[in-house]
Amino acid sequence: MAYNLKQELNKPERFAAGHRLCAGCGAGITCRAMMRAMDPEDKAVICNATSCLEVSSFQYPYTAWEDSYIHSAFENTSAVASGVAAAYAVRKRKGLQEGNFKVLAIGGDGGTYDIGFQSLSGALERGHDFTYFCYDNNAYMNTGTQRSSATPRFASATTTPAGIESVGKKQNQKDLTRIVVAHEVPYAAQTTLLGNFKDFHEKAHRAIYTEGPTFVNVLCPCPRGWQYPAELLPVITKMAVDTCVWPLYEVIEGEYHLTYKPRKKLPVEEFMKLQGRFKHCFKPGNEWTIEEAQKYVDKKWEELLARCVNT
């Protein structure tokens, strides 16, 4: 369908202002865009894992959500969404349900890549009709910026601090989107925020209105954890895409489609130098870390291009 971004941005807000997320946090922008991707006449049930987002958007009796909302535990968001989807299907079949509801699950990388992965994998395998949005801010931000499996190699976190004997996290980031694709879901995608907002809206809408389990992985910068000034959010997301640190693509029924290809692929250091968590990489003697980061990004990018049908 033809997608009019201006029209989308003029829809009524379903994630209200007045939440307690930090200035410059990508999670609030993610939620606004996710809810705006819904058709106005449809309703949603939001299943939210314990996270920065949960404690900042729903502090009883106050909420930023205009739709029905369930706060789940860290590890079981997808199981809760599965139950909601199953209950809705039964009620609809029996003629007890009015209106059209969509089940949306959302969690950070800690509650998705790590603690909630078993629950997510099970729900995807069973084929429940729901959409999972991961707002990937690369660490356990709510509890003090501990490393997660989404934390990039060489990033300094409180459990992998850079110092005399360390250059940050030793392992590369888990490629969760590919793992989700391996479950043979009908739709999965990677996107981000202000660097390519139209891309986010289109993918969110496609995911929500594709029948079956769908997944959208959103790179979602954190000013405190990544150590950047709040106003740099759009620059950082654009650099993540233009350096191919975070490629934009979607997988429809197993077929990979690249949705953005930089005219000029920038060096990975252009992304890293904007963030304090990588500042140690630019110290004399640590040049090799930037070289290794570049090699990894190049390798992953070439592998993605080889899988895509439209490169």
Q: Do 7 and 1 form a contact (C-beta atoms < 8 A)? A: no
Q: In what order do the strands lie in the sheet with 68-71?
A: 68-71, 43-48, 101-108, 131-136, 214-219, 187-191, 249-252, 255-258
pTM equals: 0.96
According to DSSP, residue 157 is labeled B
Measure the CA–CA gap between 193 and 233, rounded to whole angstroms: 9
Q: Do 269 and 244 form a contact (C-beta atoms < 8 A)? A: no
Q: Residue 13, SS3?
A: coil
**What is the per-residue pLDDT for 47?**
98
**What is the per-residue pLDDT for 2?**
61
Tens-place pLDDT, residues 73-96? 999 999 999 999 999 999 999 999
**What is the per-residue pLDDT for 18?**
84
**What is the per-residue pLDDT for 80?**
98
Counting Cβ atoms within 10 Å, is residue 67 exposed (0-12), middle (13-18) or buried (19+)? middle
Question: What dihedral angle (degrees, nearest 10) is formed by the CA atoms of 187, 153, 263, 134?
Answer: 30
Kindly list the domain boundaries of the chain, sorted by start residue: 5-307
**Nearest partner of 307 among 135, 188, 133, 191, judged by Cα:** 188
Q: What are phi and psi of 44, to 5 degrees?
A: -135, 155
**What is the per-residue pLDDT for 55?**
93
- What residue type is assigned to position 139 of the chain? A
pLDDT tens digit at each of 311 positions of the chain? 566 777 877 888 999 988 999 988 999 999 999 999 999 999 999 999 999 999 999 988 899 999 999 999 999 999 999 999 999 999 999 999 988 999 999 999 999 999 999 999 999 999 999 999 999 999 999 999 999 999 999 999 999 999 999 999 999 999 999 999 999 999 999 999 876 688 999 999 999 999 999 999 999 999 999 999 999 999 999 999 999 999 999 999 999 999 999 999 999 999 999 999 999 999 999 999 999 999 999 999 999 999 999 98
Q: Record the tokens describing residue 70, joined without a space.
A: 């369930």
Q: What is the CATH number of domain 5-307?
A: 3.40.50.970
Tens-place pLDDT, residues 221-235? 999 999 999 999 999
**What is the per-residue pLDDT for 262?**
96
Q: Do 29 and 194 form a contact (C-beta atoms < 8 A)? A: yes
Place of tokens 């971004």: 5
Measure the CA–CA gap between 49 and 72, rounded to whole angstroms: 5
Measure the CA–CA gap between 35 and 43, rounded to whole angstroms: 10
- What residue type is assigned to position 68 of the chain? S
